[in-house]
Amino acid sequence: MRSIMKFSKIPAVTITRLSIYSRCLEALAQEDVKIIASDKLAQKCGINPAQIRKDLAYFGEFGIRGVGYFVKELLSEIQRILGLNKTWKMALVGIGNLGLALVAHENFVRQGYEFVAVFDVDPAKVGRRLPSGQIIHHVDDLDKVVKEKGVEIGVIATPAGKAQNAAHRFIGSGVKAILNFAPIQLQVPEGMAVENVDFTVKLDNLAYHLTMAEP
């Protein structure tokens, strides 16, 4: 199986779909499925077979015509492409209800993402140990702790008004990627990777579809 990068610029939506393929292939591997036809994989992922072939073609040649894909081999290749063949160290700012839920979410560790530091500004929270074992640091100590822990991804779960300051602190500490749950578009320098997760945007999309379905 060859895996050769054909293009320097891969569409963001392709990377998103690679994650979907990875999750589907993981489920198939757990079911001890050895080989799967492209149409069966497409059905499981809810994506057109031609789209799967097009997405994978960016990175090389996969599968055998008339046979399908070897599940574990394709999963391994996709995980390597996505950088999931290592553990990524994360730090979170904002230990409210959302922050606590994120730190406690077992699926992060299962997928190779580990919270190694958490921060807040509330004196009542700083110094407290979470059930996960993390001790809450004051955000003023972020630069020092992030560098000591080797943090690679910053996660922001603060109110909107405090998110930009949290982003500045992550940027100043050398973190190059941010996952932002605050409902605000962060201002970051070129080269900083940012993914925004705004639940209300997803709800707006659902509301639109419900409205269109009304008589």
pLDDT at 7: 42
Structure tokens belonging to residue 54: 């097009």
Examine the domain organization and report whether 115 and 176 are in the same domain: yes
Q: Which helix (H) or strand (E) holds 36?
A: strand 35-36
Q: Is residue 209 part of a domain?
A: no
Task: List the CATH number of the domain containing 46.
Answer: 1.10.10.10
Q: Tell whether 211 is covered by a domain.
A: no
Q: Does residue 62 sit in the same domain as residue 157?
A: no
75 lies in the same domain as 24: yes
- Band (4; pLDDT cuts 50, 70, 90): very low
Residue 46 and residue 111 in one domain: no
- pLDDT given at position 149: 97
- Phi and psi at 28, nearest 5°, equal -65, -40
Both 106 and 188 in one domain: the answer is yes
34/72 Cα distance (integer angstroms) = 7
Rounded to the nearest integer, the mean pLDDT of the chain is 92
Contacts 24+ apart (CB under 8 A), 68-72: 68/35, 68/36, 68/37, 68/38, 68/40, 68/41, 69/35, 69/36, 69/37, 69/38, 69/41, 70/1, 70/34, 70/35, 71/25, 71/28, 71/29, 71/33, 71/34, 71/35, 71/36, 72/29, 72/34
Indicate whether 5 pLDDT > 80.
Answer: no
Tally of CA atoms within 13 A in the half-sphere of 154 that contains its CB: 34
| Domain end marker among 41, 59, 82 | 82
Instruction: Encode pLDDT of 138-183 as tens digits.
Output: 999 999 999 999 999 999 999 999 999 999 999 999 999 999 999 9
In a domain, 212, yes or no: no
Give the three-class secondary structure for 3.
coil
What percent of the chain is predicted at pLDDT more than 70? 96
Lowest mean pLDDT among 59-63, 117-121, 135-139: 59-63
> How sure is the predictor about 106, in pLDDT bands with cuts at 50, 70 and 90?
confident
Query: What pTM value is reported for the model?
Result: 0.84
Tell me what the mean pLDDT of segment 36-48 comes to.
94
Does residue 215 fall inside a structural domain? Answer: no
Q: Do 134 and 189 sit in the same domain of this protein?
A: yes
Confidence tier at 211 by pLDDT (50, 70, 90): very high
Segment 121-138 mean pLDDT: 96
Strands (E), 46-87: 69-70
Boundary-marking domain end, from 25, 53, 82: 82
Domain residues for the domain of 158 are 88-201
Residues 66, 101, single domain; the answer is no
What is the domain count for the chain?
Answer: 2
Q: Tell whether 206 is covered by a domain.
A: no
By the 10 Å C-beta count (0-12 exposed, 13-18 middle, 19+ buried), 162 is classed as middle
Domain-embedded: residue 112? yes
Identify whether 210 is part of a domain. Answer: no
Looking at the fold, whether 169 and 117 belong to one and the same domain comes out as yes
Q: Does residue 122 share a domain with residue 62?
A: no
State the CATH number of the domain containing residue 187.
3.40.50.720
- pLDDT at residue 30 greater than cutoff 60: yes
pLDDT for 58-79, tens place per residue?
999 998 888 899 999 999 999 9
Last residue of a domain, one of 82, 104, 138: 82
Distance between CA 11 and CA 30 in Å, rounded?
Answer: 29
Same domain? 92 vs 196: yes
Q: Both 99 and 197 in a single domain?
A: yes
Higher pLDDT, 167 or 6: 167
What is the model's pLDDT at position 3? 39
In a domain, 53, yes or no: yes
User: Same structural domain for residues 92 and 184?
Assistant: yes
pLDDT at 132: 87
